[in-house]
Chains A and B, each alone.
Chain A
Amino acid sequence: MIVTAHRSLLLAAVALTLVLGGCASPADRAAMTPQNLTVSKHHPYSLRVQTGGGAETGTMDSSNISNADLKAAIEDAVVRSKLFTSIVQGSNGDYELSVRLTSLSKPTFGGTFTVDMETAWSLTKTSDHSVALRKSVKTSGTATMSDAFAGVTRLRMAVEAATRNNIEQGLKAVAELNL
Chain B
Amino acid sequence: MKRLLKLAALLGLVTVLTTGCAVNRATANVDPSANLSSLKTMYVKRIADDDNTYNLIADKLRSKGVTVSTGTEAAPSGVDAVVTYIDKWMWDMTMYMLELTVNIRDPKTDFPLATGNSFHTSLTRLSPTEMVNEVVDNIYKDAK
What is A's interface to B at a CB cutoff of 8 Å?
A: 9-10, 12-14, 16-17, 20-21, 23-24, 50, 52-53, 55, 58-63, 96, 98, 100, 102-103, 105-111, 113, 118, 120, 122, 124, 129, 131, 134-136, 149-152, 154-155
Contact = CB atoms under 8 A, between A and B. Distances in A.
B12 A17 contact: yes
A155 B25 contact: no
Contacts of B86: 103, 105
A120 B17 contact: no
B15 A151 contact: yes
Contact of A13 (B7, B31, B33, B88): B7
27 contacts: A14-B11, A16-B8, A16-B11, A16-B12, A21-B15, A58-B23, A60-B20, A60-B22, A61-B21, A61-B25, A63-B19, A96-B32, A98-B31, A98-B32, A102-B29, A102-B101, A102-B115, A106-B19, A108-B18, A113-B19, A122-B33, A134-B109, A135-B111, A136-B105, A149-B16, A151-B19, A152-B19
Given A53-B27, A60-B23, A98-B32, A151 B16 contact: yes
Nearest to A22: B15
A106 B124 CA distance: 20
Interface of B: 3-4, 7-8, 10-12, 14-23, 25, 27, 29, 31-33, 86, 88, 90, 101, 103, 105-106, 109-113, 115, 117
Contacts of A108: 18-20, 90
